[in-house]
């Protein structure tokens, strides 16, 4: 947020600093979203390369651009694999939650039971602490809808956690 | 536990999950240079595009002209091909046709639809 807009393309040093700040979290986002580390690796690299080729922008915009690009690349891959439905509709069956949860709380297991869109909004809202407007721009969803999706996703995740035996007071 | 505590705890759990993610990331320097190479390739392709199109046009036009030339002079070329009658124009026509065909091959080489 501290950087200012500039006209010249980003330098290698600037890119490397930005990469070190963002790559790990972006990789986590892609991993959670795709469920496959190899896919996350490929999409991450492609998104960063596209960002290097794009015109220079402020850091905040760059981050949003990176997330939007990475999400779109992943979406395109799903579309190619005819798995687009999974993006907005398909949620995992909840019947096996008790069987698959480990006794220690596993948030990753909860994430696996959410739809891709729910995973994306929760990550962007809680990890990246983005505003609803920013999330909407990245996921191509209206700001008002984001508010609803975030609320529902959070409630669903909490419910899954409770079903797995997690109680806030136990922590 | 109220709803607010719940949200705070939920938030900290997600953040912990993100923090615990420690992948083996690709080297940023390699990524930067890969991007530069891809950019150069894209620039080269963009610059060469008119050249590739013009070559295609030249090959097509050459083929059409050669075909038209052969058709219009078919009567004179046919005896030469059969070997029954040799007109003074026939060898010229045959050599021209071979020359044009060679020129077309040279124009079309290397293949224009080369993809990286």
Which residues from B are below 8 Å from A when comparing CB atoms?
Answer: 1, 5-7, 9-11, 13-18, 21-23, 25-26, 28-29, 31-32, 34-36, 38-39, 42
Peptide bond into B110 cis (omega under 30): yes
Would the pTM count as exceeding 0.90? no
Lowest mean pLDDT of A90-94, A148-152, B83-87, B101-105, name the range. Answer: A90-94
Q: Among A53, A157, A167, whose Cβ lies nearest the Cβ of B35?
A: A53
Please provide the size of chain B in residues. 116
Q: Is residue B25 a contact partner of residue A30, using CB atoms and an 8 Å limit? A: no
- For tokens 């200012």, the residue is A4
Chain A: give the shortest CA distance to residue B39, in Å. Answer: 7
Whole-Å CA distances, B112 to A109, A162, B30, B42, B64: 51, 63, 31, 16, 19
| pLDDT tens-digit readout, B54-69 | 888 888 888 788 788 7
Whether the CB-CB separation of B79 and B59 falls below 8 Å is answered with no
Compare CB distances from A28 to B7, B9, B18 and report the shortest one's residue.
B18
What span, in angstroms and rounded, lies between the C-alpha atoms of A117 and A91? 10
Distance CA A44, CA A42 (A): 5
A10 token code pair: 């980003």
Contact yes or no for A14/A54 (Cβ under 8 A): no
Maximum Cα–Cα distance across chain B: 109
A contact residues 109-128, partner B, Cβ 8 Å cutoff: 111, 122-123, 126-127
Token pair for residue B26? 């690709």
Residues of A in contact with B18 (CB under 8 A): 25, 28, 123, 127
Using one digit for the tens of pLDDT, what is the confidence trace for A49-98?
A: 999 988 777 777 889 999 999 999 999 998 887 655 556 665 554 444 44
């Amino acid at each position: 947020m501290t950087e200012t807009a500039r006209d010249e393309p980003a330098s290698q040093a600037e890119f490397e600093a930005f990469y070190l700040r963002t790559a790990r979290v972006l990789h986590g986002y892609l991993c959670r979203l795709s469920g496959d580390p190899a896919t996350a690796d490929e999409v991450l690299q492609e998104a960063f390369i596209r960002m290097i080729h794009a015109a220079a922008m402020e850091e905040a915009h760059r981050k949003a651009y990176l997330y939007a690009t990475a999400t779109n690349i992943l979406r395109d891959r799903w579309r190619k694999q005819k798995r687009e439905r999974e993006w907005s509709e398909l949620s995992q069956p909840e019947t096996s939650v008790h069987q698959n949860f480990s006794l220690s709380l596993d948030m990753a297991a909860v994430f696996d039971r959410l739809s891709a869109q729910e995973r994306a909004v929760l990550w962007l809202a809680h990890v990246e602490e983005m505003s609803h407007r920013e999330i909407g721009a990245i996921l191509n969803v209206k700001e008002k809808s984001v508010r609803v999706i975030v609320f529902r996703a959070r409630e669903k995740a909490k419910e899954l956690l409770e079903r797995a035996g997690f109680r806030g007071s136990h922590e | 536990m109220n709803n607010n505590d719940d949200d705070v705890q939920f938030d900290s759990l997600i953040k912990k999950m993100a923090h615990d993610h420690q992948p083996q990331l690709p080297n940023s320097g390699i990524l930067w240079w890969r991007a530069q190479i891809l950019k150069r390739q894209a620039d080269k392709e963009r610059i060469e595009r008119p050249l590739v199109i013009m070559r295609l046009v030249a090959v097509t036009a050459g083929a059409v002209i050669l075909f038209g030339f052969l058709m219009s002079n078919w009567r004179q070329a046919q005896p030469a091909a059969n070997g029954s009658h040799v007109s003074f124009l026939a060898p010229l026509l045959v050599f021209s046709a071979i020359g044009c065909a060679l020129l077309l091959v040279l124009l079309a080489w290397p293949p224009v639809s080369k993809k990286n």
